[in-house]
Amino acid sequence: MEFVIAAGHEETARVAGDILFAGGNAADAATAAFFASWVAEPCMASAGGGAFVHYFSAGQQEALVFDGFCQTPGRKIPASRADFFPIEVNFGDTVEPFHVGLGSTAVPGAVACVFSLHGRYGSIPITELVQPAIQLAREGVAVNRFQRYLFTLLEPILKLSERGRQIYFPRGALIGVGERLQMPGMADFLDYLSREGEDAFYRGEVARKTARDYEAGGGHLRMEDLGKYRVETRPPLAVPYGGATVLTNPAPSLGGPAIAHLLLSLPGKEDMPALFSRKYIRAWLKAQRESWRLLRRPGALQESLANKLARRLGSTTHLSIVDKAGNAVGLTASNGEGCGYFMENTDIQLNNMLGEAALLPAGFDSWEPATRLPSMMAPTLLLDQEKQLAAVLGSGGAGRIATAISQVVCLLEAYGLPVEAAVEAPRLHLGPNALNLEPGFQEAFLDEDTGVAILYWKRKSMFFGGVNAVARKGKEWMVAGDRRRDGHVLVG
């Protein structure tokens, strides 16, 4: 076995595999796969959104986080002038509101992020790595059932613009399973981007046209915002857990600190209750209650986490790759739900991160100008007792990212489950109105003293995230793609 891949779409995984077969490393594979995901998973990943990359260099034993998430614009227009309005996404057993329109768009960082990753660790020219995505965009990707489901969920957004209707409603009705989703504008732009570099996105004519549209149409985004965007690199947040070390996304991310706080709020490994029992639910409920309360005040979360670490020492789609040399990439990307605006002649829909309540718990108008948004996305690595790489994982799922990742980490480390069982295990999530339980918990949770309503889901759902993970068992790498979000795996 020379490599393992877990991704959110068959084509994304295939492109990564082709690059590794051709002699590329994990960074090359992630770069090519991320480009491909903009075509194969357009409602999950986009050049118009943001991303985090967690890279582990086996030769240098170095872990580094690339923060390519979205930035708030430099100026805030009055709310009365902003093109900003709500839509609802129906997950089946619950309905979640989001806000869209030009006033919901933050400065996208995905393009800068992939160029930064490739510039530091890539070995194959980017003009070659972009070719699979160009081919997919020109020839089209057959729509599978999960992508069709996403298009249905987001139909009100996809039909907001003329270009959105042309791509997703080619014959007047929403594109169906088996039909080919084509993005010729994306193919042309990717070719241009590979030759001209990230300036083609942030400082060229496309950027100028986008900025003009936003200024005229009620958006905050301006040309100077695009031109000033920069990727930030940071060492990961390191958290001891059981006999392992969890490396995750540090502040200003919310997701990484939330994962760390959840894990450190659970009983010790030797005291963890029986799997999926009433005591197991109660332990997670207690941990989530404390963590979610602190999330409303990120400074308080950081202080509490520091205290827990001091005592112990004394996120959306996700891609996980490990190459034959042991280099690893965890890449988590999101476009939110998309704002409805497509950049001219590119088929790129921009994000709606300023309309994500999970990112702005103090209110939609609470953001400060020119500030990196505090994402819940958190590509995460697990090191064993010898500090060797043991797992790479991450998830989509907005406000459920931290609970999804922390539960899988707990099942891997505290309970010793194989990675596929850990990913497929039932999950729980404490939302604002109820404790959400997937099917599979062993006992009814009927205690009245918890003070929380219980929502029993009829089936597993993408609401609970989509953890794509690879984990080592002995000398072999095992892999799991989360079927909640149509995860795909490839082993070579």
CA distance 330 to 148: 26
Q: What phi, psi does 96 have (nearest 5°)? A: -120, 130
Decide: residue 251, CB within 10 A, 0-12 exposed, 13-18 middle, 19+ buried: middle
Residue type present at position 446: L
Handedness of CA 397, 392, 487, 439 (dihedral sign): negative
Task: Spot the catalytic one: 12, 105, 248, 316.
Answer: 316
- Which residues contact residue 80 at a Cβ distance below 8 angstroms, ignoring those fewer than 6 apart? none
Tokens of 31: 């770069």
Cβ–Cβ under 8 Å, residues 329 and 29: yes
Decide: residue 401, CB within 10 A, 0-12 exposed, 13-18 middle, 19+ buried: buried
Burial 194-204 (b: 16+ CB within 10 A, else e): beeebebbbbe
Cβ–Cβ under 8 Å, residues 346 and 186: yes
Cβ–Cβ under 8 Å, residues 160 and 340: yes
Active-site residue 316, yes or no? yes
CA distance 46 to 28: 18
Residues annotated catalytic, as ranges: 316
